[in-house]
Every structure is written in C-alpha cells, then in structure tokens.
Chain A
Amino acid sequence: MPKLRRPNLDKIRIFFLGSRNQRGVIPSAGLYMLLIAIGFVYLYPLLFMFVTSMKSPSDLLNPMVQWVPTELYLGNYEKALRVLDYPNTLMASVFVSVVPSLVQTVVASLVGYGLARYRFWGKNLIFVLILATFIIPPQNTVIPQMLNYRSQGLLGNPLALILPALLGQGYKSAIFILIFYQGFLSLPRSLEEAAQLDGASDARIFLSIAVPSALPSFIVSFIFSVVWYWNETFLTSIFLEGGITTLPMQLSRFVQAYESLYPPGTVNIFDRLNEAVKMSGTFLNILPPLLMYFLLQKWFVESVEMTGITGE
C-alpha cells in the first residue's frame, strides 16, 4: 500500500510546486499575482483617469464613491468635447502627426538605405552626427528656427513641422534612420546585386527590391512617428503658435477654454470646472493613440525584435 501512495504524492507535489520541466500551480499563481499587482500600479493613473471621468458632480463630492460611480454619467464628456473643440483639434492633430510622419519615414528609409548599402568616406562621421541630433536638446536649436519661420511667415503653418521632416530632421529622426539602417542590413544583398548586374538603376533597385522587403521597418517607423508627433508638444506649440491648434495644445489651455465657454460667475455649481471634466478631456486626448495601439499592438510590441535595434 505505501508503495502505491508515493507516486501519487509526487504527482501532487509536482502539480503544486512544479518540477524541472514545468512550473507548478503555486509558482504560477505567484507569478500572475506579481504581474497583476505591478500592472495595477503601472496602470493606476489610467484607471484613475477613466473612473474619475465617469463621475457625476455628486459622486465627486461623495467620499464613499471611490472606484465605482453610482450612475453612468457622460456629462463630463459632453463638456470636454465642447471645450476641446474636438472635431477640429482632432483633425488638426491627425494632420500634424500623419503628414510629417509619412515624410519622415520616406526620408529616413532613403538615408538608412544609403548608410546600409554603400561604402563612402565619412560614414562614421555621419553616424556620429545622427546620434548628435538625437542628443541635442530641442531648445538649443528651436529659437533661430522659430525666428526664421516668423520672418518667412511660416509660423503657425504646418509646413514648419513638415520642412524639417522633409530634410531628415524630423522629431526623433535618428531612431527611424537607425531602424531602417538595421532593417536593410539584415536583408540579403543577393537580389539587389543580381539586379545591379542586370543593369537596373539604384533608384529602381531601391524602389522595387529594397522597399518591398523592408515593409516591417516602414510600418514600425510610421506608427511610432505618428505616436511621437501626436504626443510632442514643445516644438508643436512653438511652431504652430497662432496657427492651427492640436489636441494636446488645447488640453494645455483647458482651464481658459472651459472658462470662456462656461464663465465661472454665471453657471451653477454643477457646471463649474472639476477634475472629472479635466480627466474626460485627458482621456479624449489619449483615446486616438490608444485605439491605434490596440489595433496595431503586435507592430508596437514586436518592433524592437523586428527591426533588430538592440545593444549592438
């Protein structure tokens, strides 16, 4: 009898504690609990934002209401949509992030290809300078550019953001050039060499062989560029001042915009600006990149492996 019970005990022990080849239930549960706990702390600001944005004015004042609002209240979103001038600022933000990103991605692919496929004098210097553009803080170069744009009458015009992107100096352009450099390096050269022997021109080889096979680099660069342009406010607010207003710019002046729509002296107490309305505005601000992230998450989280940007 005792001989029969031993293997059973072993099975139970393996089930709970695990063996060399598989993790037991207890370590697994521990791992999940740890990750969920860290994940909760990590996402706490977002959960807080979302829950607060759903609170009605009476829920806000009620100390008993912490995480679960008593009613489904969308009034904050109605106000925030008006205050943010959502349709207009949304379109402005989409335009100001998509167009420079498209331009920036195309130019970065050209530069990355040139660096990956050709030998020429001064290449290391170019790499050093590309890294320098990544390190130099924007406030060290922004003032002369701003004054220049002002004298050309381009201040407030989206061209002020598109022109640098067109010449490879867009926002965080160094990263995109490196993505393309690594992407093209990792592709085999044989097809391109064969095309060269057949007498195809460089432009033709680039367009019909290199570009299609580097599609992942294009997608990764474009979506990251869109997200970073969307969230960039320092350069945008300086270059677009007096021109079009993007969503984050409108969020920075949320209080003034609210008070001009709902003057503090004239509205009743429930329509005063409160944190719930502010959080609704904040949530509306991150909603577009958030949607984009959930739709394209594979491209975002696998970007580093796909493009091979790592320690080397």
Chain B
Amino acid sequence: MINSSPKRRSLSLRAREALHGYGFILIWIVGFALFTFLPLIETFQYSLNQVTVTARGISLNFIQWQNYTRALFTDPNFVELLISYVIETLVSVPIVLIFSLIISLLLNLDFKGKGIFRTIFFLPVVITSGPIIRELTAQGATSAPGIANVPAVAEFLLQLPRSLRNPVEYLLSSFILILWFSGVQILIYLSSLQKVSNSIYEAAAIDGASSWEMFWKITLPSLSGATLVNAIYTVIALSHFSENKVIQYVYAQTYNVQGGIGYASAMAFIYFAVMVLLLGLIFFVLTRGSNKE
C-alpha cells in the first residue's frame, strides 16, 4: 500500500477533493433540480396543454403550440404589452447606465459629506417593492417633478406620432422610478472607478491631456466590464420587477377562466425568450462597442 505509485495517489487525492467539493454544493444541485429545473420543464409542458385545475389536481389536454399562437396572433393585449416592455427597457437601460455613471463620477471626487450622498443614492434599493411603487405612481410622485403637468409638454406630446409618444410619456411619468433602479449600479461603477490606478491619470496629465480627454480615453474604457454587468443587471431587475405590466398580465391570466395555467405558461416562455433576446442584443452592442476601442 505504502509503495503505491505517486501518480495513482495524486489521482485519488484529486478525486477526493472533487468529492468533498461536490459535498458542499450537493444541496444546491438537489435544489436546482427540484425548484428550478423540474418546474421549468413542467411549465413548458403546461404551455403545450390546455390545463384544467380540478379538486384532485390538474388535468392536461395536449394542444400542441396553440397557446403560443393564441398569445402571439389572437390575443389583442399580449403582443402590445410585450412591445411596450421592449421599448421601455431599451429606453430605461441607457438612462440607468448614464445616470449611475454620472453619480459615481461625482461621488468619486474628493469632498466632505460624500458618505451622505452615497447613502441617499443607494436608498431606493432598500425600499423598492411592488406595492410601494404602485402607491407612489398612483399619487404621481414618480414623475419628473412638475414636468408632466406643464401644458406645453402635454401639447408637445400630442404632436408626436403614437409610436414615439408612448416611450416619451413613459419617460416623463416614471422618470424617478427609472432612476431608482440605479442604486446597485452606482456602487459597481464606484468600485471599478476606485480600481483605476492614479498613476495613469498622472502620466496623462504630464502629457498634457485635459480631464475631458482623460474621461474618454482612460476612465470610460476601464469601466467597460462594469458597464456590461450593470446593463445586464438593469435588464433583469426591470424584467423581474413585479409591477412589470407583462408579468401582471401573465399573473392575471393564470387565474382567469378564459386563460388558465397553460396559456399563462406559454406567455411566460414567450416573455422569457424576449428577455433573453434583449440581453443578447445588449451584450452584443456593448461588447462590439468596446472591442473597437
């Protein structure tokens, strides 16, 4: 036994390490199978069926892709909600990114009372929940103060074509709400700003670069990783938010006699697919943009 070859011993050490590692994550693997993977498969199965809930359980009636075609071609609301979700997300993500970048650049400066402002800008992360936002929106407290009520703005909105008016209206009525989604992103930008070495800026200053040039040539490129993380985080936060209109529609259809579980499941999958496409689009735009540098 003692003379066993060193190779075999190291292999068994390796296998032992792996085994112990699996021991730590086993609980997660079981949980993933039970609470994510199986329910996902089951939901997909429901989406291909007419599901009726009975006293004993549920009964399935296979109808192929009919739930999907109904959501995409017959339902007058779903596609419209989906389109406005895409537009609102595409409007919100750049706003969140630019706003959190500006705030993090300001907070990265050296001044007294920095901590207070950092506390203020992170505050919404702690209190944002569906019912809170619903109450605040109902009272008109989330619009850019005063702007939406100015008659000239209302007049201007009427002049716009409908496709352009919806995003602008959304922007005006929920401006602060969009900004409230920036809390985590500000911190992520801030910590990556603090990682940029000061000597690069000093060297650039000696070479005569202005602070404007330094921002575009040094700061922004070094934030590209953080920007990607922030963009993806923003899309997911917006898409999972319980006040999201598509989610509410799907939820309402789940308990609807006309809709039912099968139909809601099909819509959930369409929504998921659209969300993944959006993530892919944003990933593509951001990585291509930074590769050009």
Residues of A within 8 A of B (CB): 23, 28, 31-32, 34-35, 38-39, 41-46, 48-49, 52, 107, 110-111, 113-115, 117-121, 123, 126, 129-130, 132-145, 147, 151, 163-164, 166-169, 177, 202, 206, 227, 230-234, 248-249, 251-252, 254, 275, 278-279, 281-282, 285-286, 289-290, 292-294, 297, 300-301, 303-305, 309-312
Contact = CB atoms under 8 A, between A and B. Distances in A.
A285 B126 contact: no
Contact of A169 (B18, B36, B144, B272): B36
Contacts of B157: none
Given A167-B31, A311-B226, A52 B123 contact: no
Q: Name, among A136, A202, A286, the residue most crowded by chain B CB atoms within 10 Å (CB to CB).
A: A136
Interface string B4-34: 0000000000100111111111011111101
Q: Which 7 A-B pairs have the closest CB atoms?
A: A167-B31, A114-B24, A118-B21, A311-B225, A231-B129, A120-B18, A168-B28
B35 A167 contact: yes
Contacts of A39: 117, 120-121
Interface string B119-131: 1111111111111
Contact of B250 (A117, A139, A206, A305): A139
A137 B239 contact: yes
B254 interface: yes
A51 to B, nearest CB: 10
A233 B28 contact: no
A32 B116 CA distance: 12
Given A39-B121, A168-B32, 20 more contacts: A31-B111, A35-B117, A41-B179, A42-B179, A46-B123, A48-B139, A49-B139, A111-B24, A126-B28, A137-B240, A139-B264, A168-B28, A230-B129, A231-B132, A234-B242, A248-B131, A289-B126, A289-B127, A304-B188, A310-B229
A107 B24 CA distance: 9
Interface stretch (B40-48, B62-70, B76-84, B212-220): B40-48
Interface of B: 14, 17-25, 27-32, 34-36, 38-40, 42-43, 46, 53, 57-58, 103, 106, 109-111, 113, 115, 117-132, 134-136, 138-139, 141-142, 144-145, 176, 179-180, 184, 187-188, 190-192, 194-195, 223-226, 228-229, 236, 239-240, 242, 247, 250-251, 254, 261, 264-265, 268-269, 271-272, 275-276, 279
Contacts of B106: 31, 34-35
B232 to A, nearest CB: 9
A282 B137 CA distance: 12
26 contacts: A23-B109, A41-B144, A44-B145, A52-B139, A115-B21, A118-B21, A120-B22, A137-B271, A140-B40, A143-B43, A143-B264, A144-B38, A144-B43, A144-B46, A167-B27, A168-B32, A169-B28, A169-B32, A169-B35, A231-B129, A285-B129, A289-B127, A304-B188, A310-B226, A311-B188, A311-B228
Q: Is the interface of A mostly helix, strand, loop or mixed?
A: helix
Nearest to B279: A135
Given A48-B141, A111-B28, A139 B42 contact: no
A28 B111 contact: yes
A275 B139 contact: yes
A164 B35 contact: yes
B148 to A, nearest CB: 13
A293 B225 contact: no
B271 A133 contact: no
Contacts of A289: 126-127
A22 to B, nearest CB: 9
B36 A141 contact: yes
B172 to A, nearest CB: 13
Contact of B58 (A43, A145, A147, A300): A147
Nearest to B251: A139
Given A34-B106, A139-B247, A227-B126, A113 B24 contact: yes
Given A137-B268, A169-B36, A282-B135, A164 B251 contact: no
B128 A167 contact: no
Nearest to B42: A144
Q: Name, among A115, A134, A144, the residue most crowded by chain B CB atoms within 10 Å (CB to CB).
A: A144
Given A231-B127, A293-B123, A41 B176 contact: yes
B267 to A, nearest CB: 9
Nearest to A252: B131
Contact of A232 (B129, B184, B188): B129
A202 B176 CA distance: 49
B132 to A, nearest CB: 6
B225 A312 contact: yes
A303 B14 CA distance: 35
Contact of B129 (A136, A168, A233, A311): A233
A119 B22 CA distance: 9
Contact of A303 (B39, B139, B187, B272): B187
Contacts of B225: 310-312
Nearest to A172: B240
A270 to B, nearest CB: 19
A41 B145 contact: yes
A44 B141 contact: yes
Given A107-B27, A137-B272, A140-B40, A120 B21 contact: yes
Contacts of B229: 310-311
